[in-house]
A and B are shown apart, each in its own frame.
Chain A
Amino acid sequence: MSRLRFALAQGVLLSDALTALRAVGLDVSRLGEDRRLVVPSGDVEFVLARPSDIATYVERGAADLGIVGKDVLMESAARVLELADLRFGACRFVVAAPRDALERSLDEYRHLGSLEVATKYPHVAEEHFRRRGIQVEIVKVAGSAELAPQVGLADWIVDLVATGATLAANDLAVVEEIATSTARLIANPASYQLRRREIAPLVERLASWAAAR
């Protein structure tokens, strides 16, 4: 049988993910050695990809397992199995507004009946405001949503924050929290059944590693 393929998100989660994998006995020493994106290691083959692509790879069976933030899963709506909360990479989806303009924007909402919300996460934002019954117009941006209220592109933003420092530096305040996010161990549903003998022990070891932290 082919090696179990394990997709890892490049970026902020990678070092914690490697720590977790090392702790449960996987050899990750050759990851990051050079610029290769597919790294075989014993019975496992690691694949490095952008966070937002991990869900797609795993959903379509191009990878059997993956480690990716819950934030990415919420935005992608990919059908994968979320098997364990790995408890690192904590961040929050929040609605934020200019610190001094919250009242003004609410007043505007009462007048105009709609708010403009800039975000990199249109699905999460749309779902949140639909649930809350607030009419908004989503403005999708590719980066730095914090900028939008300052230049008049939008009233509010929906963004992912870890410490809140970037919000504060841009004079934004949290209006409300939408959801919290941490890293998840995910699996392709078909792989999880067909390769359960290999996957189950990994799930168990990673879950107990996370619980012990």
Chain B
Amino acid sequence: MPILAPPRGFRDILPTEARELRAIERALDETFASYGYVPIEPPMVERVDGDSGLERERLMQFLDRDGSLVALRPDITTAVARLVAQRYRDAAGALRLSYFAPVFREEPAMLGAEREYDQAGVELVGPSGPLADAEVLALLAESLARCGLRDATIEIGHVGVVRRAFADLNDDESAAVLDALRAGDHVGAFRLAADAGMRDEALGRARNALSARGRAVESIDIDGVDELREVIHLARDLFAGEPLWGVPNLSLVPALPYYTGVVFEALHPKSGFPIAAGGRYDLLLGAFGTPRRATGFAISVPRLHLALFESGWRAARERALVSLAPAGTRDTAQLAAALRARGVVVAIGAVAERAGLEIVDASVVDHDHVRVADGRVMTADELARELA
């Protein structure tokens, strides 16, 4: 007997779920397009040489036939950075790109983690400043709202402010502190800072900054806090949404090292992990030889789907599926064509997988007449009107 389950970390998405994911994809595509973002499809496989941001051991990598090391893409942002450096090196103006695509990451076994999942997101390359930062923030908030997600908050921090909170330290020391914060180790970060001779008063100020969320951020006097507040105000002008969706939060230090300015995460009470994350990453494109300002976000589609599902969301109902019991092959063919021409969704014969669709049982009487479950006989026209 062959093994029937896919390899660890990969799975089949069955029709009911696939239909829901398509609904999410449509909502996201439409929202991205409404802000002027155009789709892009980088390849599934990328060379392993540039700085991907992700640790090597998280890559699903293998050798190409010419001996070069390649990997299934771990994210789309890095591919976009490479592509911008190659194709849009001298482009003036803003580049607005969007994607909805699978990414691949090696995960430790036995954690139930997926090695392939869909990411949806945008990259805004070129513009900098508060309006550009606000644009991607508002777009994220609007995207989640248009998918039907309620009660999401977007926590908005600023890596530059955190860095400046430790300005008393030299470059190496402050890099070590930032590394600890990126790993979530606040205890270790403050211990490193204290060991490096940062004074109690400065430590206290940094501690206040790192724990400031919401209104408390207003009392923080570090360069960049005003910018953070301005970005949030502008984002709320661009998309009003639910009250208080944007929360200033200086404790937010993402794990990926390439962020430089405003950063954010979308959180939801039904999800133990962020649903989406993003921010300004002005240094990544420079690693590919084309220093350009850039910001963007990526939504984890499975996490978004799960949060939607757990809060009672279901994909919008589609038209019912008529399961047409055949009688005479030509009559059946002609009746199916007549129904479909009138906008009815028809499958000939019994349906094994309803994919959550409503099923209407009907049987062929002749090329223009159908009998429905309660015994009534009607024309293709009449059935089409009844189902409309």
Contacts and interface: CB of A to CB of B under 8 A. Distances in A.
Interface of A: 1, 56, 59-62, 79-85, 184, 188-194, 196, 200
B184 interface: yes
B267 A194 contact: yes
Contacts of A56: 111
A140 to B, nearest CB: 15
Contacts of A79: 183-184, 255
Of A60, A61, A80, A192, most B-chain CB atoms within 10 Å: A192
Nearest to B275: A190
26 contacts: A56-B111, A60-B272, A60-B273, A62-B272, A79-B184, A81-B184, A81-B186, A83-B186, A83-B187, A84-B187, A85-B191, A184-B187, A188-B272, A190-B271, A190-B274, A191-B272, A192-B251, A193-B155, A193-B213, A193-B247, A193-B251, A193-B252, A193-B265, A194-B153, A194-B269, A196-B214
Of A62, A82, A84, most B-chain CB atoms within 10 Å: A82
A61 B271 contact: yes
A173 to B, nearest CB: 28
Contacts of B185: 82
A184 B180 CA distance: 15
Give 10 nearest A-B pairs by CB, closest first: A61-B272, A81-B184, A82-B187, A82-B185, A85-B187, A190-B267, A193-B155, A60-B272, A196-B213, A194-B267
Contacts of B249: 193
A191 B213 CA distance: 13
A188 B247 CA distance: 18
Contacts, number: 52
B334 interface: no
Given A84-B187, A189-B184, A189-B274, 18 more contacts: A61-B272, A62-B272, A79-B184, A79-B255, A80-B184, A82-B188, A83-B187, A184-B187, A190-B267, A190-B273, A191-B272, A192-B251, A193-B153, A193-B213, A193-B267, A196-B213, A196-B214, A200-B211
Nearest to A196: B213
Interface residues of B, number: 25
Nearest to A80: B184
A92 to B, nearest CB: 16
A27 to B, nearest CB: 25
A156 to B, nearest CB: 25
Nearest to B207: A207
Contacts of B187: 82-85, 184
Nearest to B188: A82
A60 B112 CA distance: 11
B112 to A, nearest CB: 9
A189 B186 CA distance: 12
A82 B272 contact: no
Of A62, A79, A81, A85, most B-chain CB atoms within 10 Å: A81
A196 B247 CA distance: 12
Contacts of A190: 265, 267, 271-274
B315 to A, nearest CB: 25
A189 B249 CA distance: 12
A40 B111 CA distance: 27
A80 to B, nearest CB: 6
B280 to A, nearest CB: 20
Contacts of B191: 85
Contact of A82 (B184, B251, B271, B274): B184
Of B111, B184, B211, most A-chain CB atoms within 10 Å: B184
A80 B251 CA distance: 13
A134 to B, nearest CB: 20
Interface string B56-69: 00000000000000
